[in-house]
Every structure is written in structure tokens, then in C-alpha cells.
Chain A
Amino acid sequence: MFSFRKSALAVIAAAGVSGVMAAAPVQAQTLKVVMHSDVKILDPIWTTAYIQRNHGYMVWDTLFAVDEKFDVKPQMVDKYDVSADKLTWTFTLRDGLEWHDGKPVTAEDCVASIKRWAARDSMGQKLMASAEGLEVVDAKTFKLKMKEPYGLVLQSLGKPSSNVPFMMPKKTAETDPMQQIKLEDVIGSGPFIFKGDEWKPGEKIVYVKNAKYKPRAEPANGLAGGKVVKVDRVEWIAMPDIQTQVAALQGGEIDMIESPGHDLLPLLAKDKNIELVSFNPTGNQYAFRFNSLAKPFDNAKIRHAVFVAFGQEDFLKATIGDPQWYKVCKAPFVCGTPLATDAGMADVLNGNAAKAKQLLTEAGYDGTPIVLMQSTDLQVLTNLAPVAKAQMERAGFKVDMVSMDWQTLVARRVKKDPPTQGGWHAFLTSWVAADILNPVMAGYFNASCDKAMFGWPCDATIEKYRDQFAKETDPAKQKLIVEELQKYWVDHPTHINVGQWYAPLARRKTVQGNLTSPVPVFWNVTKK
């Protein structure tokens, strides 16, 4: 194998250049990874983008975390208890927690962090709306006092995906939630230390092992348990071109690709040095979002007709292709999670065009063309809209599919203008399963009119169920509420779940230990 460097060394040797070669130092074990995107923003509270969430898990730690089964376990918290009236929660931090600058982690830091997170996150806002306040007891202990019993305290503090309640030093956490934290404030207490001096946006971001980190004694499990770092350094290399990523992995220049395109998976699977690992068994869920303000989707019966017209497998075949990487799953709170249920779903998502047509007639659909936005530049989304268009047209809808890049779609979907004047009726997107585990967490179930996400559904019954769910502390009763909500939601949909899909990571076989988790994490990972 020829290389310039080797040739040059050979020339030097041949020329008789000699010297005492010092013994090579032991090479630090560096894991080189291409993530799904470059890290441009360093504040995981300021944005909900997944790459910032992943960056957050490297640097910061959380009070609680979910394991593989989405059970919430203490992480920075040593012990916690709740008063008999379920109104006062007391949390005590573990011994030996330290920020990367050597200062101890205190209860004051945690209280400030929770407040900043809650100002940005919808689940945090709901938690704090039911709370009387947070109170520091001593350096390691704080209390959360509630106005009424609240069933999602631990689920909120252990929220696994965007926005994650990461704990930050008080000084950082006091940054205006609407402003990004500064580069020099990227100091956490997590298992890796961010190397600000080596961060080159568009090139790479570097983390080194936090040698002072004290992992929990329990084995790593999902995002919970002991975060034992087994490499010295992790580099996330910015490499936008998927073909180049694959070539670099095959050539051994990088160790892992977080999210290789589905069309390239067969090529990677054939390489004897590479393996595909499905680290996130709950995967992702495709969603068709209605604009409930725009006629005819202001009519619940017409939205229900779309639900009846759709069949999931066509969407999944068109986008993912290989059944190994998708699952037909009617449960809106994701198959394989505690709140997964098919209650109320028997008559929908069966691709029943005749029934949908009949429903449309009953609902008085006047033939208004549906402005369906299609994203054309994200491979996992591009083929969804044409399938939706075909299934809707079979049921009698008129559909005007408008193609655009994702960023244009993102900008247009926040517009409430009529669809014929720059607004929209519907679009398709995808959620990471960890973001939609319950009706409070799942943003598209928020039906609080103007306060809801784009699409702005306004449904007091759904909101009543969401409130009941949040206040219920018994998991069994929570599940019953979800079933009732789901039965109602099928007839009054805010969105439609059109299938579950998985994206394996590709790694060289020299790399092992990726944990089963809703988020790609790098503790426990080894490299030979």
C-alpha cells in the first residue's frame, strides 16, 4: 500500500538519515465519529436540535435518566423522596460530583438549571406551572414543592430527549434562557470534557475523558447507570457528504457513522470490517401533521377520513425499503414503550379508501385542494409526501403537493396564512421515539390552540386528558387515561403516525460497546 508519508520516510531512510528514534509514546485512544450533523450551537437548552442534545450528553449530566425500558432512574441524584401528600419532593445529590473546573456541584446549581430548562421546554413549563417553587435546603439537597400532586416529576427531570434538563453551574444556568451560553461556559459535570480550544465548527468538535468523573456503581443501562468512559478522546468529524462518510469508514479513517443513509446500508453490510448496530430499538416515528386552522382540516371528520385512508406500510416501503429497518405500528406512543397501546386504532391506518371516501362525503368535503408540503432534501422524508398524496387522492381528496427544501418548509410551517397565500394544510416529518413517550411529552398532542406547535389544534378534551395524565401519579391509571385519550384522538386527530423506523449506526468492528439507548452516547464504548 502506497502513501506519501511512507514514501517520504523511505526516502529519508535511504538517504542515510539516521538518529536515535525515541520510543513512541502510547497513543491516546481516539474515537472518530461522524454524527448526523455538525455542532454549530453549544447550548442544548437554547435549541431542541438533536445534535445539541447529543453534545449535551457528552458534557453535562442529568439528575435522572431513563434506562433501556424507559424506566426513570437516579443519575446525579443519590436519593429522593416524596412526602405523603405527594406535594414535596426532596432530592439529594451524590457525593463527589464536580464540575470540569473542579468546583463542586451544588443544589443551587441544580435549582438554577431546572429553572432555565423549564423556561424553554414544554414539559418543564407544565411541571413548573404545577409547582409552588424550588428550594435549596443545603449544599447537596433541594426541594420541589408542588401545588397539587403531579405524576410526571421524575419523567420530566429524567426526560431523555430535547430539551433534556442538563445540570449546569449556577452562573451558566442564570444565562437568559433566550440567549445562548458562552463558549467558556461549556463546563459540565458529565463524563467528557469539551475542548473549546479544538472546536472548529465545520471541521470537528473534540471531547476528552473526564478523569475525575465518578460513575454510578450500577452497570450502564440506556442513559442510566454508570457512565464509564473507555476511550481517551472522542472527535466528532463534520463530513456532510454521505458517500464520503462511507468511503472514510471503509478506509478506516473514521470509526463510526451515527446515521448512514438507508440506501447505503447494503453496501456497508457487505464490508467484513464494518457492522451495523441498531442502538435505538424504539427508533423513530413518521408523522403527518394537520394545520387544524385551515379549511377543510378545521373539520375533525375530514382529518379522521385521512386517518382512515392512510396505510403505514406504503410510507415505510417508499422511504426505508428494507423491512429490517421499519415496523408497522399503530401505537402513537411508540411500540415497545410503556404507554404503547392500539386502543381505538382498529379502524384507522388500514388504507381503506372506500370508507374514507364515504366519510368525506358525510363531512361535506367541498374539493378544496390540500396544500401538502414535501421536503425534498432530506432522504428519510422525501418520499413520504408522494405516498400521502396518492393515498389521499384515492380517497377523494384533491392534493396540491408543493416541493421545497426542509429549511423552507420549517419556515413556512409556522405561518398561519391561508394555504393559498403562503400557508399550508399538511406536511410530514419524523420524531425520535424518545420525544413522544407520553401525551405531555409528545408535542403534536398539545392541543392548546395558539400555544400548541404549528398546526395549532384547539381541543379542550385532549387538553383535559393531558392534564389528567400529568396529575395522575399511578402508572396503571395513567395508561387508562392514555387509552381514553387515544380513542378520542382517533376521531379528532391532531396528526397521524404513519410508521416506525430505525436507523442503525455503522461502526468498524474494532469498536464495541455502544449502549442500547434512545440517544447515541459514547461512554462504555471501546476501541481496539
Chain B
Amino acid sequence: MLDFIARRLIAIIPVLGVVAVFVFLMLRLTPGDPAAVIAGDNATSDQIADIRTKLGLDEPIWTQFAIWIGNVLQGNFGESFFFKKTVAELIAQRVEPTLALAICTLVFAVSISVPIGVMAAYRQGSLIDKAVMGFSVLGFSVPGFVIGYCLIYVFAIELGWLPVQGYVRIGVNFWQFAERMVLPSLTLSVGFVALISRITRASVLEVLNEDYIRTARAKGLSNRVVLMRHALRNAAVPILTVIGLGIAILIGGAVVTESVFGLPGLGRLTVEAVLSRDFPTIQTVILLFSVVYVVINLLIDISYTLFDPRIRY
């Protein structure tokens, strides 16, 4: 197992290398000039050129890459072109809202989607099954921002139960934190629930047709025990895989959800950085997302062994 983990961790290095080169080149090839953005609308060409020199953007592209990658290898992710802060500081400031959103969304999504997926499989062809599948199609089809606006309209404006936007740090006031997490997490959960419930249904359906389930029933075990201990556990591997893959949906969704609900997280930092061509920030955030994605999928792989003892690394 340790050998497997070590090999997977080492495999992250070339992945990050490819991501670094790709992101760096994409940014340089994309039209747009951070110096022009910084200088403002009334700036002259000379002022823009001065700023470009100060930022080192007049250096050849490979020199810029060598300087950046050299700094990254020393743990220095550079300074944002816009904020007079290091990128590491910026990320540290923005990580909490995104982490909170991701955890709340995962908790919401898993606690809703797995039970309804199991129920849909158990009651295949029933109204519950059709409702779950219908919701699933809807969840896939409706964009996150539309769901967000609908939730804001109903729960914040019409009913006035929850705030429209903003973020309060968990350490400052827990209740205000919780109030502000409900709508964004629900918004982001919808697509996730659609995905997981569908896979749960399909996996559990497949398992329910296995001989050992018939045996379990023949032994006189209750439906709850058959479903939870025998069916769900054996169906867990594909569900876990989908949850792992869904982290990408979560990262992408966080960009939109944080903008709609005014959460100052990494998603919004990414949008702001892209719009203002803040190269050091974009590069670092994308690298960070890549690491998170790879590590979470490694954890998912490891967790397979908990559900299926036949899996050994």
C-alpha cells in the first residue's frame, strides 16, 4: 500500500509539470495585457510600457517561464500583479470559503443522493424511481447560476429566510456562517446529486440482481440489512469513483456559485485573476486545483480497499 501511495505521489510531479507548462503557455498566448489593465483607461502607451517592464513582461517568454518555475520550485509563487500581496497570502485568505463550500456541498450531495439513488433502485419503475430520474435529468440540464438565482429569489427575497450573499468566517459567527452556506451549497449540490444518485441507482440495481443478494434474502435478512450491508457496500466502488470525478464539477461549479453568492473564495479569485490577466495568481490557483484533484482521487482509490477487501495495492 505504501509503495502504491509513494508511486502515485511521484506520478503527481509530471502531471504538475505538464499543467505548469500548459497554463503558462496558454496565458501568454491568450490576448490581453496585464500592464494595460493595471494602467487604467486613461494611460498613455509609455505608461503601459513602463509597467510592462516593471512586471518583467517584456522578457522573452522562455525567460519568464524559467524565472517563474525556478521560484515555484523554491516555494515562491510570486506576487499578484494587482494586489500588493504574495499569491500564497491571497490563496490563504480565499481558501476557507471554498473549502467550506466544498465540504457543505459534499455533505449535502452525498447525504441526499445516495439514499434517493438506493431508493430508486429498490423501487425500480415506481413513482419514486421516475421522480429521482426526472430530477437527475433536470439537475444535469439546468445551469448552476439559474438554480442559484431561483433559490435567491424564493428563499432570500420572497421568503426572507436566508441572506442573499456574503460570507462570514466560521470562527467569527457560526450561525451567520451557516445561514450563508445553505443556498450556495444547495446550488452546487444539484448537479452533484443528479450525478451521484443516477450512478448509485445503476450500481445498486446491478448488485440487487446478484446471487448473493438472493441468498441474503433467502436467509431472512431484512430489506434494510440487505440494502445497506450487502447491496450498497458492494455498489460503493463506482459511487466513490464518481464522487472523485465530481470534484472537478465542484471546482468548476465553485467559480460560478461563488460569483453568484458573493463568496470571496478561490473560484472568484480565479475569475478575477483571469479577467484582469493576473498571470501569477492564475498559474498558482490552477496548479493548486490540479494538486487537489489528483490527491482527492488518490484518497478515493485508497478508500476502495475499505469497501472491497479484494482490492489490494
* Other-chain contact of B37, A162, A183, A410 (Cβ < 8 Å): A410
With the chains together, A443 CA to B45 CA distance in Å? 12
B31 pairs with A412, CB closer than 8 A: yes
With the chains together, A186 CA to B280 CA distance in Å? 24
* Other-chain contact of A429, B41, B165, B272 (Cβ < 8 Å): B41
Residue of A nearest to B274 (CB): A407
Chain A 388-412 interface 0/1 with B at a Cβ cutoff of 8 Å (1 = within): 0000000000000000110110111
With the chains together, A461 CA to B85 CA distance in Å? 47
A453 pairs with B45, CB closer than 8 A: yes
A237 pairs with B166, CB closer than 8 A: yes
CB distance from B36 to the nearest CB of A (A): 4
With the chains together, A180 CA to B179 CA distance in Å? 39
CB distance from B170 to the nearest CB of A (A): 14
Residue of B nearest to A444 (CB): B42
Interface residue A201 (Cβ < 8 Å from any Cβ of B): yes
Residue of A nearest to B152 (CB): A247
Interface residue B275 (Cβ < 8 Å from any Cβ of A): yes
Interface residue A383 (Cβ < 8 Å from any Cβ of B): no
Interface residue A474 (Cβ < 8 Å from any Cβ of B): no
Interface residue B246 (Cβ < 8 Å from any Cβ of A): no
- For A1, the chain B residues whose CB sits under 8 A away are 159-161
* Other-chain contact of A253, B36, B43, B163 (Cβ < 8 Å): B163
With the chains together, A8 CA to B174 CA distance in Å? 11
Interface residue A41 (Cβ < 8 Å from any Cβ of B): yes
A248 pairs with B38, CB closer than 8 A: no
B165 pairs with A178, CB closer than 8 A: no
A40 pairs with B48, CB closer than 8 A: no
Interface residues on chain A, size class: 35 or more
With the chains together, A248 CA to B271 CA distance in Å? 21
Those of A109-129 within 8 Å (CB) of chain B: 120, 122
With the chains together, A42 CA to B82 CA distance in Å? 9
Those of A308-327 within 8 Å (CB) of chain B: none
Interface-lining segment among B3-11, B107-115, B214-222, B254-262: B254-262
B271 pairs with A40, CB closer than 8 A: no
B276 pairs with A251, CB closer than 8 A: no
- For A201, the chain B residues whose CB sits under 8 A away are 82-83, 85, 90, 93
A253 pairs with B32, CB closer than 8 A: no
Interface residue B307 (Cβ < 8 Å from any Cβ of A): no
* Other-chain contact of A411, B36, B44, B162, B275 (Cβ < 8 Å): B36
Chain B 20-48 interface 0/1 with A at a Cβ cutoff of 8 Å (1 = within): 00000000000111001111111111111
Known contacts: A201-B90, A247-B153. The answer to whether A2 contacts B161 by CB under 8 A is yes
Residue of B nearest to A125 (CB): B44
Those of B139-186 within 8 Å (CB) of chain A: 149, 152-153, 156-157, 159-167, 175-176, 178-179, 182
CB distance from B53 to the nearest CB of A (A): 9
Known contacts: A40-B276, A410-B37, A453-B45. The answer to whether A3 contacts B161 by CB under 8 A is yes
A48 pairs with B43, CB closer than 8 A: yes
Interface residue A96 (Cβ < 8 Å from any Cβ of B): no
* Other-chain contact of A3, B36, B38, B179 (Cβ < 8 Å): B179
Interface-lining segment among A238-246, A296-304, A479-487, A498-506: A238-246
Those of A448-475 within 8 Å (CB) of chain B: 450-454
* Other-chain contact of B271, A203, A240, A412, A414 (Cβ < 8 Å): A240
B45 pairs with A414, CB closer than 8 A: yes
Known contacts: A1-B161, A251-B160. The answer to whether A40 contacts B33 by CB under 8 A is no
**Interface size, chain B (Cβ < 8 Å):** 57
A8 pairs with B175, CB closer than 8 A: yes
Interface residue B277 (Cβ < 8 Å from any Cβ of A): yes
CB distance from A450 to the nearest CB of B (A): 8
Interface residue A5 (Cβ < 8 Å from any Cβ of B): yes
Interface residue B94 (Cβ < 8 Å from any Cβ of A): yes
Residue of A nearest to B269 (CB): A202
- For A452, the chain B residues whose CB sits under 8 A away are 44
With the chains together, A408 CA to B159 CA distance in Å? 42
- For A240, the chain B residues whose CB sits under 8 A away are 259, 262, 268, 271-272
Chain A 171-202 interface 0/1 with B at a Cβ cutoff of 8 Å (1 = within): 00000001110110000000000000000111
B41 pairs with A244, CB closer than 8 A: no
B164 pairs with A178, CB closer than 8 A: no
- For A248, the chain B residues whose CB sits under 8 A away are 164-166, 262
Most A C-beta atoms less than 10 A away, residue of B48, B84, B160, B272: B84
- For B157, the chain A residues whose CB sits under 8 A away are 247, 250-251
* Other-chain contact of A5, B41, B176, B259 (Cβ < 8 Å): B176
CB distance from B121 to the nearest CB of A (A): 34
A179 pairs with B54, CB closer than 8 A: yes
Interface residue A154 (Cβ < 8 Å from any Cβ of B): no
Known contacts: A3-B162, A454-B45. The answer to whether A408 contacts B38 by CB under 8 A is no
- For A3, the chain B residues whose CB sits under 8 A away are 160-162, 179
Those of A1-27 within 8 Å (CB) of chain B: 1-5, 8
Residue of A nearest to B261 (CB): A244
Interface residue B50 (Cβ < 8 Å from any Cβ of A): yes
A435 pairs with B42, CB closer than 8 A: yes
Those of B82-140 within 8 Å (CB) of chain A: 82-85, 90, 93-94
* Other-chain contact of A48, B41, B163, B271 (Cβ < 8 Å): B41
A244 pairs with B82, CB closer than 8 A: no
- For B149, the chain A residues whose CB sits under 8 A away are 243
A411 pairs with B179, CB closer than 8 A: no
With the chains together, A155 CA to B40 CA distance in Å? 22
B276 pairs with A407, CB closer than 8 A: yes
B276 pairs with A241, CB closer than 8 A: no
With the chains together, A91 CA to B268 CA distance in Å? 47
- For A220, the chain B residues whose CB sits under 8 A away are none
Interface residue A277 (Cβ < 8 Å from any Cβ of B): no
Residue of A nearest to B155 (CB): A2
Interface residue B78 (Cβ < 8 Å from any Cβ of A): no
Interface residue A90 (Cβ < 8 Å from any Cβ of B): no
- For B159, the chain A residues whose CB sits under 8 A away are 1-2
Known contacts: A47-B38, A201-B90, A407-B37. The answer to whether A247 contacts B165 by CB under 8 A is yes
B40 pairs with A47, CB closer than 8 A: yes
Interface residue A87 (Cβ < 8 Å from any Cβ of B): no
Interface residue B264 (Cβ < 8 Å from any Cβ of A): yes
- For B176, the chain A residues whose CB sits under 8 A away are 5
- For B260, the chain A residues whose CB sits under 8 A away are 241, 243-244
- For B269, the chain A residues whose CB sits under 8 A away are 202
- For B83, the chain A residues whose CB sits under 8 A away are 40-41, 201
Those of A33-54 within 8 Å (CB) of chain B: 38, 40-42, 47-50, 52
CB distance from B253 to the nearest CB of A (A): 15
- For A163, the chain B residues whose CB sits under 8 A away are 42
With the chains together, A179 CA to B55 CA distance in Å? 10
With the chains together, A405 CA to B30 CA distance in Å? 11
- For A451, the chain B residues whose CB sits under 8 A away are 44, 46
With the chains together, A127 CA to B45 CA distance in Å? 20
Residue of B nearest to A407 (CB): B32
- For B262, the chain A residues whose CB sits under 8 A away are 237-241, 244, 248
With the chains together, A79 CA to B287 CA distance in Å? 58
Known contacts: A122-B44, A182-B84, A407-B32. The answer to whether A253 contacts B165 by CB under 8 A is yes
Those of B255-302 within 8 Å (CB) of chain A: 259-262, 264, 268-269, 271-272, 275-277
* Other-chain contact of B264, A42, A47, A162, A202 (Cβ < 8 Å): A202
- Other than A1-B160, A50-B40, A240-B268, give 9 A-B pairs with Cβ distance below 8 A: A52-B40, A200-B93, A201-B90, A240-B271, A244-B261, A250-B157, A251-B156, A407-B275, A452-B44
List 8 A-B residue pairs with CB atoms under 8 Å apart, sorted by A's residue number: A4-B182, A5-B179, A237-B262, A241-B262, A251-B157, A407-B275, A408-B32, A429-B41
